Structure 1
């Protein structure tokens, strides 16, 4: 649309066109023609014409006829000029061509110019109104949220399908109705409070939870705003004066779920970091305790039975502590995983008897259930349809054993634990909700919270194998379900669980590139879905490694550890094996001792990984640069290998003298 209104002049007398152009060209953009037919062509090409000024009596075509034809494709305002005082003809022209004004010839210049200014303004105003209506109707039709407008009395005057569906009606049934007449009576207090806040402040936002028939919750966000006639008015300045308002009703259930999943993922990451740090410190303590007990048992004359029994009890307790620490580390980041293609169906069939025995043995110390336990593997995918999963078979067996024991504990009266498998394909990232399975997943226990998602909120696109464990037990409340993967959280009696089993499963599944999804409803049971990535290129199994060579004796070993107790135990083990030892308290001290020993160098360096100032990785790199070929055995209490080389030889704490001897043989042999 041009800055100046566009006027089309039509008259069969050229002198009239010249006079009109001279009158109007200072204020308007002028187009002119002596032919009504050519005028129609101009209007077809130029949609920006605002006003048509046409003579009535023309030999080719009357002005009223030309304007009537133009109405088929042009909405410009029309002014009819006539040299005759035939009121009947003028009235007919007004009706046929929807003419806004007419003027007699000769015209009054000021009056004619005023008519054209008014007609141009009206045309542009009607165009803007048409655009606004088109935008509003398009917004109402296509907006995914509910959108409605109210008059000053609070009655709906515009409403879209989504907003009307919230009230269980169609759009026509809602028009003219007040919101409080369509709202559930239980929600009326919240509605009135929201409207009062909007009246006082001009705007209000509120989030309300609505229960669903299936026991779930739908969250909706309501945004209300008063549409004041005076945009600069102070909210609440004239509370007695009514005004139109807008209501936006938006379903934010998925957003709430994503926020909860993100908070859960962040919490799990923080807990994993904390668990790794705690486990590292415990491993150092347990190395000192177990090593000292082992050295004490091997020192001096034979122990009497009572002392030997006490040492055995202490060693057993330390081993249980070491096992607990390993589970903590598996929660932080699973270690020593052997990722290979695994036939999950065959694994489940082979485990069925073991699972049955484990579940029934778990209940021997309690009252007998009213109905027997059963392990149902009838839901396995047909042979040949389930691709191999890329996972660690041993860790998967432990995870399934743990899940089945938990399922048995949740069924005090007995019941069936159903194991099933299915192949799915995640087509793409679904950041606004749970991943979509193909085919869809049937969740028999409702749409309860889903726990165990990554910070991205989804699995990577690709094929997966889903292993499901479903029970008929007591189920879990949303509050319990939100905490099941937290370490040390358990609902079992003292002595029946540490609260680390599900944490370990979570860490293991996430480490192999999968995910854990849990759905549960009180009184209806629980279902756990393990998503395992499909092995894309199953490689030929590697041949078994050759047996380790016998451990050498009489070596000179440099022992590097910042923990005095651990260093003393390691050196004691080495001396017990017939080796000589030199000790250093850290990486810098180790380099200094090596410099003092030149030209002699030790046969072996046994070094901790995590040390202050200079860690084991940097110290080892400097030692290898100065003394190439020197074997280095790393000791670590962490689950991962930090920044160590891929071929590094690593012994994890706590360790026994026999394990240390085995790794020394590997280091020297390499």
Structure 2
């Protein structure tokens, strides 16, 4: 719409058009034609004409007929000019709504100009109102919330589909009726209280839970009520009510709280595991040193020491899993014997899936079966992260138990497969894989659920029983290791999850080093500085190193280590340094020691899962450790 109103002049006499143009062109944009047929063509092409000024009697078509035809596609205001006393035609045109004004020829210039100004203003006001109506109607019908406007008597005068659907009706059935007439009778006390708050405060907001049909859950709705009119007494009493479904938002908030709780639990677990690792280092180290002391031990004492060491190793495994839960490390892809890992994990899997009680308070009967493991000789090692694979299998078994509320059998199996291009399907590189499968006899999944199971935060569990991150983390871990996850499921037929892990083609010697219990003979004796704030850990570390034949100096922190370095004429060849220490951490202490002795080699000890505070090339030994593992890392540190 242009700033100047647009006027179309239609008259079969060119002189009349010239006279009208001279009268109006200062205030209006003028279009003109001597043909009513051409005038209709102009109106069909242009949507910005505000006023049509037309002669009544023209050879091709009367002005009233032309204006009547124009009404089919044009809403411009019409003014009819006539030089004859044809009052009947003019009256008929006025009565039929085809024209707004008429004027005799010759016209009064001021009067005609005033008519055209008024007609143009009226047309533009109608256009603006039409636009407002269109926008309001579009807003009403496309809002994701229910919206309704009420008159001073509380009757709906506008309402959209979503608001009407909440009352179980269409829009027409709600108009002219009060909310009290439309809502469920059980909601009346709450509705009247909300209306009272609205009258007192001018605005009210509340969230209400509505039971779903069938009692499967609840739908949360947020109601916002506000008075309209801005305090103008002439517009007082009108109000708006907005009804918004916030069920998904509430669920996401609950899941976020659950994720935050899990993060807090992970942080707590990491702290406990760190302290427990220090205790286990002292226990396992002391047991190992005691076993190597003096003459041959009697069988009873040796058996007790072996039992204590085995229990400590189980504690170390549990702590490692706690750390993997609290702070998953970057994947450490190494050759892993899957069958051995599964057998070692069986007890933990049984504890994980039988910790839940049934509706009657008793234990739910579950069985973990590994009858389908491939023969060890047929199953090569895979290239994966053992800790993350254990965590993934535990997660899958817990999911399987959740799918069997009355208990059942969870089958774990392994197999070696060769994937060609067709079988790989673009998700895997062709080659050899070991498939680790977890199958249950549970409720299964629909195709719609199956299509979304790897989406982060998607879960079919009740709020508080899962974050929706488990399967997405498993998928990410397996894909990062070069494998794939494939799931087969159908309602009532259970679920089978297959983890495809790439075969490790290096020699078997690449497998994790078996624990060595024989004393380690060093290649040469060295001066070693042991720095740890835990006295028991420091004593065990120093004891291991002295047994290896090294000369050991101990320090309980970074400051004492610096003092000993400065007081020593030669200084140590190697510093064995705890990472987490009060006042001065291991990374800072090592940096300051190397400033004094640049060729100093450093081996860091940590009880945490990650070592993000250390340089990328740092050599790290995780607690608890054996004498053999310490000796191996000392040799690696000295070899650079």
TM-score by length of 1: 0.69
How far is the alpha carbon of 1:76 from its aligned partner?
Answer: 0.6
Alignment match of 2:548 (pick from 555, 577, 598): 577
Aligned to 1:492: none
Q: Shift of the alpha carbon at 1:638? A: 0.9
Report the equivalent of 1:523.
Answer: none
SS at match of 1:441: helix
Aligned to 1:227: 228
Per mean C-alpha deviation after superposition, the further-off stretch among 618-627 and 279-288 is: 618-627
Q: Which residue of 1 aligns with 2:88?
A: 88
Partner residue, 1:215: 216
Which one has more relative contact order, counting CA pairs under 8 Å at least 6 apart? 1
Counterpart of 2:510 in 1: which secondary structure? coil
Matches within 5 A, 1:186-205: 186-205=186-205
Tell me the alpha carbon deviations over residues 371-402 of structure 1, each in whole angstroms, 9 at most, x when there is no partner.
97566999xxxxxxxxx999646654566568
1:497-534 C-alpha deviation (Å, 9 max, x unpaired): xxxxx99x8998598389xxxxxxxxxxxx99999997
Distance 1:351 1:314 in 2: 21
- Structure 2: distance between partners of 1:221 and 1:27: 53
Contact 1:333–1:511 under 8 Å retained in 2: no
Aligned with 2:611 (options 612, 623, 641): 641
Structure 2: how far apart are the matches of 1:390 and 1:257?
38
CA shift for structure 1 position 571: 1.6
1:237-386 equivalence runs, <5 A: 243-288=237-282, 291=285, 322=316, 325-334=319-328, 338-339=332-333, 358=350
Instruction: Say if 1:636 and 1:6 are closer, same or farther in 2 by CA, change over 3 A.
Output: same
How far off is 1:295 after superposition?
Answer: 5.4
Aligned: 1:652 with 2:627:
no
1:557 corresponds in structure 2 to 528
C-alpha contact 2:324 2:387 (8 A) present in aligned 1: no
Distance in 1 (CA, whole Å) between partners of 2:67 and 2:367 is: 87
Q: How many residues align?
A: 580
Distance in 2 (alpha carbons) for counterparts of 1:174 and 1:389: 67
Alignment partners' CA distance in 1, 2:217 and 2:281: 49
CA distance in 2, matches of 1:288, 1:353: 25
Q: For 2:183 and 2:110, locate their aligned partners in 1 and report how far apart those are by CA, in whole Å.
A: 59
How does 1:579-594 map onto structure 2 within 5 Å?
A: 579-587=550-558, 590=561, 593-594=564-565
Mapped partners of 1:374, 1:315: distance in 2: 29
Aligned to 2:157: 157
Residue by residue over 1:34-76, the C-alpha shift from the partner in whole angstroms, topping out at 9 and shown as x without a partner, is: 3333433433343222111111122343211222232232211
Return 5+ residue gaps in structure 2 as ranges. 372-380, 414-423, 428-444, 480-492
Is the partner of 1:279 in helix, strand or coil? helix
Aligned to 1:616: 586
In the TM superposition, residue 635 of structure 1 has moved relative to its aligned partner by 0.9
Deviations along 1:234-275, one digit per CA (max 9) or x if unpaired, are xxx79xx86443332221111111222222223332332343
- Match of residue 431 from structure 2: none
Deviation at 1:123, TM superposition (A): 0.9
Aligned to 1:24: 24
Measure, in 2, the Cα distance between the counterparts of 1:392 and 1:86: 99
Judging changes above 3 Å, is the alpha-carbon distance between structure 1 residues 652 and 418 closer, same or farther for their aligned structure 2 residues?
A: closer
* Residue pair 2:161, 2:171 contacting (<8 A) in 1 also: yes
Among candidates 559, 574, 578, match of residue 604 of structure 1:
574
TM-aligned CA distance change 1:371 to 1:626, over 3 Å: closer
CA distance in 2, matches of 1:99, 1:389: 88
The answer (yes or no) to whether the contact 1:227–1:244 under 8 Å persists in 2 is yes
- RMSD, matched Cα: 5.4
Task: Give runs of aligned pairs for residues 2-81 of structure 1, distance below 5 A.
Answer: 2-81=2-81
Deviation at residue 185 of structure 1 after TM alignment: 1.8
Deviations 1:340-379 (A, max 9, x none): 79999x999x87996899589989xxx999997566999x
The answer to whether the 8 Å contact 1:284/1:566 transfers is: yes
Q: Distance in 2 between matches of 1:184 and 1:375?
A: 51
Distance 1:510 1:625, change over 3 A: farther
1:606–1:375 CA distance, 2 compared to 1 (3 A)? closer
Distance in 1, matches of 2:354 and 2:97, equals 93
SS in 1 for 2:219: strand
Counterparts of 1:622 and 1:565, CA distance in 2: 25
Query: How far off is 1:207 after superposition?
Result: 1.6
Contact 1:51 1:119 in 2 (8 A): yes
Q: Which of 401, 405, 408 is the matching residue for 1:416? A: 408
Q: Deviations over 1:101-150 (max 9, x none)?
A: 11222333343333222222221121112212222232233333223333
For the residues of structure 1 that align with 2:257 and 2:353, how far apart are their CA atoms?
Answer: 38
| Distance 1:140-1:362 versus aligned 2 partners, 3 A rule | closer
What is the alpha-carbon distance in structure 1 between the residues aligned to residue 113 and residue 353 of structure 2? Answer: 102
The change in CA–CA distance for 1:319 and 1:156 in structure 2 (over 3 A counts) is same
Give distance in 1, aligned partners of 2:29 and 2:531: 93
Structure-1 separation of matches of 2:305 and 2:52: 110
Distance in 2 (CA, whole Å) between partners of 1:218 and 1:83 is 72
Helix, strand or coil: the match of 1:267?
helix
Change (3 A) 1:327 1:398: closer
CA displacement 1:412-456 (0-9 Å, x = unmatched): 9x74245699x9999xxxxxxxxxx9942279xxxxxx9x997xx
- Of stretches 252-261 and 624-633 in structure 1, the one that deviates more from structure 2 is 624-633
2:103 match: secondary structure: strand
Q: Are the equivalent residues in 2 in contact too, given 1:287–1:653 (CA < 8 A)?
A: yes
TM-score by length of 2: 0.72
Corresponding residue to 1:440 among 427, 448, 452: 448
Structure-2 separation of matches of 1:376 and 1:175? 65
The superposition leaves residues 555-577 of structure 1 with CA deviations (integer Å, 9 ceiling, x where unpaired) of 32221224444323322332233
Tell which deviates more after alignment, 315-324 or 212-221.
315-324
1:664 aligned residue = 634
Cα separation, 2, equivalents of 1:629 and 1:372: 61
CA distance in 1: counterparts of 2:252 and 2:553, whole angstroms:
56
CA positional deviation for 1:77 = 0.4
Q: After the TM superposition, which residues 458-607 of structure 1 pair with which residues of structure 2 at under 5 Å, given as runs?
A: 482=464, 512=477, 540=505, 543-545=508-510, 550-552=520-522, 554-587=525-558, 590=561, 593-594=564-565, 597=568, 600=570, 602-607=572-577
